Amino acid sequence: MRIIGIVPARMASTRFPGKPLAKILGKPMIEHVYSRSMLCKKLNFVYIATPDKEIQDYCKNNNMNVVMTRDTHERASDRAAEAVLKIEKKSGKKIEIVVMIQGDEPMLQYEMIDRVIRPMISDRSINAVNLTAPLKSKQEQNDPNQVKVVVDKKGFALYFSREPIPSRKKGAKDVPMQRQIGLIAFRRDFLIKFNELAPTPLEKIESVDMLRILEHGYRLKMVPGAFNAYGVDTPQDLKKVERLMKAEVRSNAQK
C-alpha cells in the first residue's frame, strides 16, 4: 500500500505565532516531528505541508520534503488534502492512506504511527483512525487544550470535548479519562470526502474537527496506548515538552 505522512504546519498560530520553528533542544519543533516520523518504516514518504516560505526554506535547506499550500486553509485536514493532490499530480501515483501528523507533536514516537495505520490495513471498512492516551491528572482533565474522548465497546469514538468527559459529578471513583493525540490516519478518498462535508454544530462548539465525522454519521476508530507524548499549544507547553524531552534523552543514554 502507498502510505504517506503529511505534517501540516503554519507560522500564524493564534496562541503561539511562529510555533513550527520554535526551538526545542536546539532544533525547530517541525524538525523533531519530521525526523521522528521518518523512523516509521510503514510510511513511503513524509512531507511538510505549509503556506509559509520561511518553513519551506528551512525544509529545503535541511533535506526535508515540503509541499506549498494555500494560506486560506483554516484546518489541518484541508491543508493535508491539498498536499495529497499535489503530491499525486507530481508523482503520477495515487496514495492509499494518509497519516496526518500534527506539527506540534515533537514527542511523537514512530510506534504511534505504526499503531494508527494497523487497523486500516487489517480492516478495509475502517476509513479513519485516531490515537488516545490516558489523562494523568485532574489538571489535565480540566485543561481545555486537552481534547477528551469517550468510546464505545468496540473502540469507536462516541464524543469529543474540551470539557472533562465522562462526568465525575456522580462520585464514580474509576472514571476512564482519555485524551486525543494529534495523529489521524485517513483513507485517501475519505480525507477528500471529509473536507467536502459541511462543518457541523458540535464541531464548531467544541472546536474539534473530528466531531464532523460523527455528526455526519461516519465512524472513527480510536486506538489507545500509554503514550508519553504531549502537544505544544502555548509557550508554556513548549517549556514542559522540552523538560520531558531532556528527561527522555537522559533515559535513552542510560540504556
Banded pLDDT at 5 (limits 50, 70, 90)? very high
**Is 168 a member of any domain?**
no
200 within a domain of the structure (yes/no): yes
Please give the model's pTM, rounded to 2 decimal places: 0.91
Query: Would residue 193 count as lying in a domain?
Result: yes
- With a cut of 90, say whether residue 249 has pLDDT above it: no
Residue 210 DSSP label: T
Instruction: Give, in order, the Cα–Cα distances in Å from 78 to each of 56, 71, 111.
Output: 18, 11, 25
Q: How far apart are CA 115 and CA 223, in angstroms?
A: 7
Total structural domains in the chain? Answer: 1
Residue 85 maps to which CATH number? Answer: 3.90.550.10
Does residue 169 fall inside a structural domain?
A: no
Residue 87 lies in a domain: yes
Residue 163 to residue 177: CA distance in whole angstroms:
11
Note whether residue 189 is domain-resident.
yes
What pLDDT shows up at residue 230?
Answer: 81
Distance, CA of 34 to CA of 70 (rounded, Å): 21
Q: Which amino acid is at 69?
A: T
Tens of pLDDT along 133-170?
999 888 888 999 899 999 999 999 999 999 999 887 77
Q: At 57, is the pLDDT very low, low, confident or very high (cuts 50, 70, 90)?
A: very high
- The amino acid occupying position 156 is F
User: Is 143 contained in some domain?
Assistant: no
In angstroms, the Cα distances linking 171 to 5, 168, 223, 230 are 42, 6, 27, 28
pLDDT interval class at 116 (50, 70, 90): very high
Q: Specify if 128 maps to a domain.
A: yes
Residue with cell 514527542: 107
Residue type, 164: P
Residue 148's beta-bridge partner residues?
Answer: 161, 179
Provide long-range contacts, Cβ within 8 A and 24+ apart, for 113-118.
Answer: 113/5, 113/37, 113/40, 113/42, 113/43, 113/183, 114/40, 114/42, 115/223, 115/225, 116/183, 116/184, 116/185, 116/223, 117/3, 117/42, 117/185, 118/223
Q: pLDDT digits over 205-233, tens only?
A: 999 999 999 999 999 999 998 777 788 98
> Residue 114's domain spans which residues?
3-135+181-254
